[in-house]
Amino acid sequence: MSERPDLDRYPELAPRWDRRQFIKSAAAGTLLMAAGGTLVRIAADDLTKKARADKRSDGRPRLPPGQRVLENLRAMGGQEGDGSVKTFALKVYGLCKTPFEVDYAGLLKLPTVTKAADVHCVTGWSMLGGEWKGVQVATLAEKAGVRGEARHVIFEAAHGFTANVPMKEATGDTSLVTWRLNGKPFPLQHGAPVRGLIPDLYFWKSAKWITGVRFVKDDIPGFWEVRGYHNHADPWKEERYG
């Protein structure tokens, strides 16, 4: 038997019935949204639990302490560059025998690699297993003829942003100047057209909207470092703040 009243016979009940149906529909929608949110949270928790059980090739846990896995990069703001491949130029210089500058087309002609790498944001999220395409910073260093006294790399980006990285991490196997993630170009919010990638340090070291790679002898703290963030930024040591 239907609980719906005979509205033809009792039309005065129509407003009350409509209101009741609206409340029921809204409640069902809220429950559905809540269930969807729960499923997303459960999926993220499962990814995090699995990652905590994994080990890296160097023996460290795959997931640094205090991190939770997300499936995609989260937009973290910053003053954007113009994002255009037509105006892009990368300057590689500093303590180099043969400094050079390259446009976007020239960058793509350099020896290219695709590397799987995890990234870890200081705010507590990590994205695992991304496929990053680009040029190794080590390749840029070799082409520029970096001098032996260089000990640090300063990644320069739009609007004067800088990030300082020790030479060891900057020239690691998965440290790149990159223009593709999982086969797709970066959207502007993630650093288009080209960004840095230093996956063994917190993600702020992977400068977006990159414009320069400068090799130096003395360390020069970058934008976030002079504002209280840790100068080195090792996620496994939780070097979040200075």
| pLDDT computed for residue 10 by the predictor | 58
**DSSP per residue over 66-121, as a string?**
T-EEESSPPP---------TTT-EEEEEESBSS-EEEEHHHHHHS--EEEEEEEE-
By C-alpha distance, which of 186, 137, 177, 182 is closest to 157? Answer: 177
Could you tell me the pLDDT band of residue 31, with boundaries at 50, 70 and 90? Answer: very low
Give the span between the Cα atoms of 200 and 120, in whole angstroms: 8
Amino acid at 5: P
Interval 83-132: pLDDT, tens: 999 999 999 999 999 999 999 999 999 999 999 999 999 999 999 999 99
Give the span between the Cα atoms of 17 and 78, in whole angstroms: 51
CA 12 to chain centre: 59
- The rounded mean pLDDT for the chain is 89
Q: Provide the 8-state DSSP code for 231.
A: S
| pLDDT computed for residue 45 by the predictor | 86
Interval 165-202: pLDDT, tens: 999 999 999 999 999 999 999 999 999 999 999 999 99
- Residue 105 exposed, middle or buried by CB count within 10 Å (0-12, 13-18, 19+): exposed
Termini Cα distance of the chain: 69
pTM across the whole model: 0.82
Helix, strand, or coil here: 206? Answer: coil
Give the span between the Cα atoms of 192 and 180, in whole angstroms: 9
